[in-house]
Amino acid sequence: MQHNCRWHYLETAEQVAQEASRHILEAANEAIKERGKFKLVLAGGSTPEKVYRLLAETDADWGKWYIYHGDERCLPKDHSDRNSLMARKSFLDQVTIPEEQVFDIPAELGPEKAAEFYHQIVANALPFDMVLLGMGEDGHTASLFPGHQHDKTKLTHAVYNSPKPPSERVSISAKALSDTRQLVFLITGKNKQEAVKEWRMGQDLPVANITPESPVDIYIDNDAFSP
Ligand code: 6PG
């Protein structure tokens, strides 16, 4: 369970996206000023996509950004449900981040091989400057699902039997996602209300197991929050 959550309540999903993109750009400036680069982990899903479209419209020091993915779906590279394709279309194709600084998960190789490959990428990247995550209606985050058992010492996992299609996926582990200077959750939509409630009550959900030392920023819209 996180020890310090900062909940940012916003009216609409659009406002969530605006506030989150502002936060990301600020974190990028700070990281680049202090350490010369910005290592950002992207999330899949519909809420993050809105954020990426806003980022794509702004001007930033793109040459110093390094992009990773929290999870990927085991589908062909050009499949429309790939998180990497969504990120490229909505964001990365629009800006000038050097291609060698964008680290896709090669999920087309299958869960085991891709998880093994990405392990080294993550090991070289840690700590991340910022990790973005969404949350599913069952409290999953990245491709870490309730009830799934993983070796907690690993940096990446091969995922089978995902309840959200496709069933085969690759995910960065809770341990590696927690090794970040900033963690930002993007949560919108009525179907998230129950999981949000459980999370706030301290239930053991995947979303509650990403535990960085720094505070956790949660941007949430009215629909997803029920007091
Ligand atoms: C995925 C995701 C997943 C997602 C949540 C929230 O690839 O499916 O990484 O963890 O972020 O399910 O998705 P929405 O924002 O679409 O509700």
What is the pTM for the complete model shown?
0.97
Determine the residue type at 214. Answer: S
Rounded to whole angstroms, the Cα distance separating 57 from 152 reads 38
* Confidence check: pLDDT of 159 > 90: yes
Q: Evaluate whether 192 touches 16 at the Cβ level (below 8 Å).
A: no
CA of 140 to the centre of ligand 1 (A): 8
- Kindly state the average pLDDT of the residues 97-105: 98
Provide the Cα torsion 213, 224, 156, 115; round to 10°: -160
CA of 36 to the centre of ligand 1 (A): 30
CA of 2 to the centre of ligand 1 (A): 20
46 lines ligand 1 (CB under 6 A): yes
Tokens of 146: 């309730």
Q: Which atom of ligand 1 lies nearest, measured to the CA of 144?
A: 10
* Confidence check: pLDDT of 227 > 80: no
156 lines ligand 1 (CB under 6 A): no
Per-residue pLDDT tens over the stretch 169-181: 999 999 999 999 9
136 lines ligand 1 (CB under 6 A): yes
Determine the residue type at 94. Answer: Q
Determine the residue type at 66. Answer: Y
What is residue 1's predicted lDDT score, i.e. its pLDDT?
A: 81
For atom 2 of ligand 1, the residue with the nearest CA is 44
* Confidence check: pLDDT of 29 > 80: yes
Closest CA to 172 of 138, 136, 132: 132
What is residue 193's predicted lDDT score, i.e. its pLDDT?
A: 97
Q: Which atom of ligand 1 lies nearest, measured to the CA of 189?
A: 17
